[in-house]
Structure 1
Amino acid sequence: MAEKQQREGTSVASLLAMPFLTIGNTKIVLWKGDITTLEVDAIVNAANHQMLGCFQPGHKCIDNAIHNRAGVQLRRDCNTIMEIQGHDEAAGQAKITRGYHLPARYVIHTVGPVVSGIVQEADRATLASSYRSVLDISQKVSGIDSLALCSISTGVYGYPIEQATPIAIQETVEWIKANPNKLNSVVFNVFSDRDYAVYQSLLEEFVCQQ
């Protein structure tokens, strides 16, 4: 019973009542809130190269939030993965772990690009790779039908939200079109009103172009 109480969160079914758009059988939703409360099959964590979570107490990053709610077992899983791998996680790749005390059953970890100054073509390519890797690995575990995507690299990694969002949308939509019937729902998760407005504007633009 205690485990069930720890896993209670925001039902994705309530969000899907009004999807932003639908591609094939996949509903795409834009939602502002705490990703650690979402009852989806998998959520995405914007991780660091060590893949062991954020070690700054109280730091307001998604990595810290996810590890804090999931519990110490998540860090142990990540540590096992890194010991087997034998080197830091490269940017643009993805790994999957269990979600433990999160409402989500799985966490998909990816390291996005760090941007300092002007966004370079290599940054765009790495960010696109992160989204593709996340989507690809979501299908390597049976039963992942719903996925919540955070806005990778737009926090402490410094990627401007206005430039990151078109890549997030494009890569996700292209993947869904190339992989029909693989995911029932995708949630674009943001934390601020400003980020929501950026996603909303670009998604509306995309819908108008269809």
Structure 2
Amino acid sequence: MPQLLLKDYASLIKLTETFIPPFPIMESNPENMIDDLINALLREPNVPSDVEIPSDYNAKRSLLRALLNIRAPKPLNDEIVEKIDSLLQWELNEKGTVDVVKLESVVSRAPANPFSQSGKFILWQGDITRLNADAIVNAANKQMLGCFQPLHACIDNAIHSAAGPQLRGDCELIMSSQGELEEMGNAKITRAYNLPSHYVLHTVGPIVPKGTTLTNQKRDELASCYISCLQLANEIEDIKTIAFCAISTGVFGFPKTEAAHIAVKTVNQWLLDHPNRIEKIIFNVFSKEDYNEYLNVFTQ
């Protein structure tokens, strides 16, 4: 079965329907809601039987995240979903949303940079799940179902955890319909649910095992991730701002210096070829080391 195109799955996941989150202020305090959710999830089949519920708030919240991380993409009853949504909206309200329109372009830091589209570029260090870009990019694996390792420190886990279980549900609908793993360099799009963005672009980047040589094929596959995301976003008129994570540079092991060069050059060329389409591109990084890698690209 061939890889699905947007037209093949958009209606399946109700992509054009606006997600309306519940009001973030909860009737009870967050800990009571977390207790209710943990107890509900522990009653589900195939949950480890030896789980002990901690007394500390942060440990309880971590347990809830872990239980959702390992949970297979299957329906939850409406009451549980509403409680999860309410909790995630409350947490988003607590940590705050970052307005990408107010972020400075890289031109302010590197006015003499060689990229013709740099007026549209933003380099920002922080949590991508706080950005209100129209779409954010998730570095997924070939299964495209999110990270099932509890509390794993990858962006796939972070995005799914902040969006809520509906995100995994949509991914499962797409992948079940496709009937095969996602190809390297391809992308799919879903709604973003409890994230401040509207959409999530999921792309599968190349893996460069430690100690192996970086090949031109891997370079081309990484460039394809950026192009696939941009082409997919181009099909949705209301996507004007996109936040890219540093695809493949985490556990996938792609060398960070070259990854940053490929990211910026590829996006710059696509914008040059598609003028007046995308207004802002945010290169989102998590660490200061990653920030400096991108800054070097703009200042060399």
TM-score normalised by the shorter chain: which range applies? over 0.9
Residue type at the aligned position of 1:113: P
SS at match of 1:169: helix
Bigger share in strand:
1
Q: 2:223 aligns with which of 118, 128, 135?
A: 128
Identity of aligned residues (%): 46
Shift of 1:26: 5.6
Answering whether residue 179 of structure 2 is matched by residue 86 of structure 1, we say yes
Residue type at the aligned position of 2:147: C
Runs (4+) off by over 4 Å:
3-8, 22-26
Q: 1:173 aligns with which of 254, 262, 268?
A: 268
Answering whether residue 235 of structure 2 is matched by residue 140 of structure 1, we say yes
Determine the C-alpha separation between the residues in 1 that align with 2:119 and 2:259: 22
Residue type at the aligned position of 2:99: S
Give the total of aligned pairs: 203
Q: 1:12 aligns with which of 91, 100, 118?
A: 100
Answering whether residue 157 of structure 2 is matched by residue 71 of structure 1, we say no
Shift of 1:142: 2.3
Asked if structure 1 preserves the Cα contact closer than 8 Å seen for 2:118 and 2:268, the reply is no
Asked if structure 2 preserves the Cα contact closer than 8 Å seen for 1:46 and 1:63, the reply is yes
Answer 1 or 2: higher relative contact order, Cα 8 Å, separation at least 6. 1
Where do residues 24-63 of structure 1 align in structure 2 (5 Å cutoff)?
Answer: 27-63=120-156
Shift of 1:203: 1.4
Asked if structure 2 preserves the Cα contact closer than 8 Å seen for 1:43 and 1:104, the reply is yes
Asked if structure 2 preserves the Cα contact closer than 8 Å seen for 1:25 and 1:184, the reply is no
Where do residues 157-196 of structure 1 align in structure 2 (5 Å cutoff)?
Answer: 157-196=252-291
Asked if structure 2 preserves the Cα contact closer than 8 Å seen for 1:11 and 1:39, the reply is yes
Answering whether residue 156 of structure 2 is matched by residue 156 of structure 1, we say no
Residue type at the aligned position of 2:208: V
| Gap runs ≥5 in structure 2 | 1-22, 25-85, 108-114
Shift of 1:24: 5.8
Determine the C-alpha separation between the residues in 2 that align with 1:67 and 1:142: 24
Residue type at the aligned position of 1:12: V
Determine the C-alpha separation between the residues in 2 that align with 1:41 and 1:157: 26
Please provide the CA RMSD for this pair: 1.6
Shift of 1:148: 0.2
Shift of 1:23: 4.6
1:208 corresponds in structure 2 to none
Shift of 1:187: 0.3
Shift of 1:25: 9.5
**Change in CA separation of 1:23 and 1:145 when aligned onto 2, cut-off 3 Å:** farther
- TM superposition score normalised by structure 2: 0.65
Q: Which range is displaced more, 63-72 or 19-28?
A: 19-28
**Change in CA separation of 1:181 and 1:23 when aligned onto 2, cut-off 3 Å:** farther
Shift of 1:55: 0.5
SS at match of 2:138: strand
SS at match of 2:213: coil
- Summarize deviations over 1:62-90 as a string: whole Å, max 9, x none: 00000000000000000000011100001
| Gap runs ≥5 in structure 1 | 206-210
- TM superposition score normalised by structure 1: 0.92
